[in-house]
Structure 1
Amino acid sequence: MVAVENELEAFLVDLEAMPLAALRAEWRERWGPPPRLRSPRLVRHLIAWRVQAAAYGDLTLDDRRRLKACSLPKLQTLKEGSRVAREYQGVIHEVTAERHGFRDRERDYRSLSAIAREITGVRWNGPRFFGLRPGAGHAR
């Protein structure tokens, strides 16, 4: 068992230095087509997880359920007629939830994200922008 642990530790150390192309090749060799992820860090973590789970055992179904239950963000849903507001660069934006979307400044939108993008000019998660998601930052 010690030899397996040492071999695994050496592999994990080597994994840290691998560029994305090498990580994808490693994945392909072990499990087939690699994920389409572009983040070497994320692919590295996924490989390390799979290799360690194979060596030491994976999470139980109960553990997975508990982790999923506590990790999902608790998104507040807006009922029709609800309003949310956000000040951005000195301007207050008040949005009203409607039956099939949202209304802001006499315009209809399908999502809060579309409104946030219109306001800021960059892609934003709408519920996060309007403070409806835990940890919503009002930076930018």
Structure 2
Amino acid sequence: MSEIKALIATLEAQKIDALRTIWCDQFEEGPPPLRSANVLRYLLAERLQLRAHGSNHDLDRRLCKTASRHRPGYKPTVRTAAFKPGSRLEREWKGERHQVDVIDGAYVWNGQTFTSLSPIARQITGSRWNGPRFFGLREEAA
């Protein structure tokens, strides 16, 4: 195991020809036809680690599925939160606690009924907000 760690540590300083030689020494087939030393370095390190530790097929499947969602031109579907009637959403804004009650197909805030959380967030803040994001139901943009 420590031999693999030591070998992977030496990859950082290697040029592409040396990386190809290491690949041929370690594996029976030749290296992939890459021109980038960095990409070959990462692939070589991954192959060495997989050989040493094995693979987790469930994790691989999930990672492939996640990676496919980040391809160019992919438009993600946004899942909206579905709450059961009787649920309550709370948010503190500028020192004031706001509570929104979920009723069948709508939301109640300050005695008013809304079909969406966004108008509620807009009235609370005085500016345009995405309602689910305002109430902490969506991740912040990175």
Task: Indicate the TM-score class for this superposition, using the shorter chain for normalisation.
Answer: 0.3 to 0.5
TM-score, normalisation: structure 1 = 0.46
TM-score, normalisation: structure 2 = 0.46
Between Structure 1 and Structure 2, the one with more helix by share is: 1
